Structure 1
């Protein structure tokens, strides 16, 4: 049992469900938007303006704090099997993103309204303004944060700088604290304010009806991705892919309840071993993939991003979307294994690369978290497929000692 597996589903079940809070916030926002006076609504709009500024300040710090130590830790130990596992996980994540892109361009134009109302495409004409705003400039931009994180992370793999490494690990703990103790708890109020303002502006009915169809579409895509992953894993390992997927279903169901990859590690690890993966390989790949393999999250963010762009009339340039998918795949490596962690990590890219405004980013956060558990369930179930592939590549008895050492190092990381 790894250190990460000490976080059990039972321990997380005592916490309020973020999904339930978000659903309540959306419902209250819609209902209250029907009768709240404009003056009271502007109070929440003002909070959203301030919180949005804080998010803009925090996102570059989140990127630096998560990506830099993640890259540095990926360079430790024997490295060969770690690099191969990370490469397979990144490839799987990219395939998920491009599958979401291709399917969205084929299906979403037929699902989304061809002529959205004026209030949706031009929200500034109907939304209320805050009483006041406070400019909180970020220390550096999102692109600068990504480049700096890569430079620092790669440098830490090449030189011995234990003090600096310890500092970035502690900085990551601070960033995770900021996400879990400040940003995530305030998100329901933020989402409430967004839907409250959208309801009074006449947008919310169109948005909710539209995104229900997108939710069903994304759910179907996640299962297509799982079938693809286990078909490949079955072909490589010589096992029945349907039986493999069936064995991993307890991990899928556990993730539906916890919405946390980290909290599901014990169940994922147990089911991977039941599937036939050797214990040293499972102990290494499962905690690692819980951190770096987010194919389900990739599908959700890609599809919802394209849906928002279509709804709001933002031009979809293939080159821009392809670059976004490659960058998002890297960002997913650094996403913390907590509910909503992936979308908070990706929020900077939505603004900097796709040009989303505050309301559009807020809409992305709301819709993502509303089905967060389905993406997490896809992530952890796919980890079993990668474990089976790695078990075949490594071979029984080959490289087990160095793999065990790397698994022990990953206990500290996850």
Structure 2
């Protein structure tokens, strides 16, 4: 493969696993401090730190993604493997998108049955949110649209304003389907071992990693990379770069599946919440 013109030996301040634990720990502790009437300094610090990260994402990372993808495809073309890989992965993408749509529909059917609402109406209401996510490739940018959809679905204000923003940072439906499908395809392509026990452990770990996946293009695969060693893939090697490229080329559909599942969850949680309130009142 092609060698880079130069390398910048920049080590991350902390790996993804440490960052996830750090985020959980400080998030819970700051919430506890706020409940005690304290923690304003810590809360303001991390709120402003979040604005810095968002600025870096919008100004540097997201504009650089097309260049990164282009460079990887140039490298694949140089090695002569680009057409053999694309010949397989367009089929993988069809399977991925189909599975995502089936799971989203299943979510809304379950939500409709549980809440006694028409699931087809819920699915129809979600179309603007799905299209917005496909276009923006960002779960965070789709929050306002999803909030309006939740309102149209009859979800109460306190539930929709809590569930929708929270779930926008928990990439479980579309992202995990995509990551697992792409990883399985790569393992099979390169005749690497793949079995149920190995993939089950990997999927369970993704259930934790995706909770902290950033709401930016490629956030899901970047959160999953440190755990690729569980399936025998070097996250810093050629296969790791290949997975990033393949994930990014369809990330908009994964994001759309993520945010669509959020509204199904909001409908269910609203029913549970009001059922609990009614029971408590009686």
TM-score range, shorter chain: 0.7 to 0.9
* 1:306-321 mapped onto 2 (5 Å cutoff): 306-321=184-199
TM-score, L = length of structure 2: 0.84
Change in Cα spacing, 1:280 to 1:153, as seen in structure 2 (3 Å) is: closer
Structure 1 vs Structure 2 CA RMSD: 2.7
**1:109-162 Cα distance to aligned partner (Å, 9 max, x none):** xxxxxxxxxxxxxxxxxx233355443333444444444444444444455544
Rounded Cα–Cα distance in structure 2 between residues aligned with 1:243 and 1:300: 27
Seen in structure 2, the aligned counterparts of structure 1 residues 250 and 393 have a Cα distance that, compared at 3 Å, is same
- Higher RCO structure, 1 or 2 (CA under 8 Å, sep 6+): 1
TM-score by length of 1: 0.59
Report 1:229-308 matches (<5 A). 229-308=107-186
How far 1:377 moved relative to its partner?
A: 1.5
CA distance in 2 between counterparts of 1:194 and 1:325 reads 26
Q: Does the 8 Å contact 2:111/2:265 carry over to 1?
A: yes
More deviation in 193-202 or 131-140?
131-140
Q: Secondary structure at the match of 2:169?
A: helix
Separation in 1, partners of 2:120, 2:165: 23
What is the aligned length?
A: 273
Instruction: Report whether the alignment pairs 1:130 with 2:8.
Output: no
Stretches of structure 1 that go unaligned for 5 or more consecutive residues are 1-126, 400-414
What secondary structure is seen at the aligned counterpart in 2 of 1:175?
helix
Which SS does the other structure have where 1:260 is aligned? coil
Aligned mates of 2:87, 2:210 — CA distance in 1: 29
Please report how far the alpha carbon of residue 304 of structure 1 lies from its aligned counterpart in structure 2 after TM superposition. Answer: 0.9
Aligned equivalent of 1:372, options 251, 255, 276: 251
Contact 2:233 2:239 survives alignment (8 Å):
no
Q: Secondary structure at the match of 1:248?
A: helix
Does residue 1:325 correspond to 2:177, yes or no?
no
1:194 aligns with 72
For the Cα contact (< 8 Å) 2:194–2:231, is it kept in 1?
A: no
- Contact 2:16 2:223 survives alignment (8 Å): no
Deviations 1:280-320 (A, max 9, x none): 32233222222225411221111112212222233225444
**Ranges of 4+ aligned residues in structure 1 off by more than 6 Å:** none
Show the counterpart of 1:42.
Answer: none
Counterparts of 1:48-59 in structure 2 under 5 Å?
none
